[in-house]
Amino acid sequence: MTVSGSKNFELQVDDYIEEAFERCGTEFRTGYDARTAKRSLNLLLADWANRGLNQWTIKQRTQAVTQGTSAYDLGTDVIDVLSVVCRRSGSDLTMTRLSRDGYITIPTKTTQGRPSQYFLDRQITPSLKLYTTPENSTDTIIYDALVRMDDADTLINTVDMPFRFYPCLAAGLAYYISMKRAPDRIQLLKAVYEEEFERARTEDRDRSSFNVTPQYEYLRVN
């Protein structure tokens, strides 16, 4: 048996659109078809971000601090911050996340010290607010940011995702397009998409080692 030896299969935006239209029982023909499909694709990717289905876009970033300054603007591509540490002289202190209410109710936000808590103010430009306010300008904040996927701007773009998510993207785009072009197939394509989404979501979760300790039950024989 002869195998290809290649592992570089990759779809462009127009390939996904063509596949989606075929699943809807129609053809991808006009420039308007391309525009409406690209719009649906970008909305689908935004929905994935809301659902947290893009762990491959987690980036570790650093933020220098300034003594007396508690708020730091992050990039506009940041969707969420998953974990934060304050590094001092090679030693990391894990910081805990505050809710909006928790941060607002802190009476003395200007108190200076080594930051141990943070609040992510999720505006168009997210702001990371530290408590306590940094007492020096030598500490470094290190955080894991969940960032946006690249937009699908042109038909020859590829989509920023691992190979295992291709089926989910194709199924999702077909479902989105069916709402505009194939209403008789909406329920079918939605079911396929949700199945693919759940499979992708399960595959994308963090895995950690675990041990199973069997529970023994003894039967007393008289």
| Helix, strand, coil percentages in the chain from 3-state DSSP, rounded to 5 | 35, 25, 40
Q: Model confidence over 172-216: pLDDT tens digits?
A: 999 999 999 999 999 999 999 999 999 988 876 655 444 444 444
Q: What is the DSSP string of 177-192?
A: HHHHH-GGGHHHHHHH
Q: Are residues 73 and 117 in the same domain?
A: yes
**Count of domains forming the chain:** 2
Sign, CA dihedral 122-72-109-135, equals positive
Q: Are residues 108 and 41 in the same domain?
A: no
The CA distance from 14 to 149, in Å, is 18
The CA distance from 100 to 80, in Å, is 14
C-beta of residue 146 within 8 angstroms of C-beta of residue 21? no
C-beta of residue 68 within 8 angstroms of C-beta of residue 137? no
Q: Are residues 41 and 59 in the same domain?
A: no
Q: Are residues 115 and 142 in the same domain?
A: yes
Residue 86 has pLDDT above 80, yes or no: yes
Q: Are residues 143 and 180 in the same domain?
A: no
Give me the mean pLDDT over the 7-15 stretch: 86
Q: For residue 107, which phi and psi values (nearest 5 degrees)?
A: -75, -30
Q: Are residues 122 and 182 in the same domain?
A: no
Q: For residue 123, which phi and psi values (nearest 5 degrees)?
A: -90, -175
Residue 53 has pLDDT above 90, yes or no: no
Give me the mean pLDDT over the 125-135 stretch: 97
Q: What is the pTM of this model?
A: 0.72
Q: Are residues 68 and 134 in the same domain?
A: yes
pLDDT at 217: 45
The verdict on residue 84 lying in a domain is yes
Give me the mean pLDDT over the 138-161 stretch: 86
The verdict on residue 32 lying in a domain is no
pLDDT at 214: 44
Residue 218 has pLDDT above 70, yes or no: no
The verdict on residue 154 lying in a domain is no
Per the structure, the complete domain to which residue 197 belongs is given by 10-24+37-51+171-203
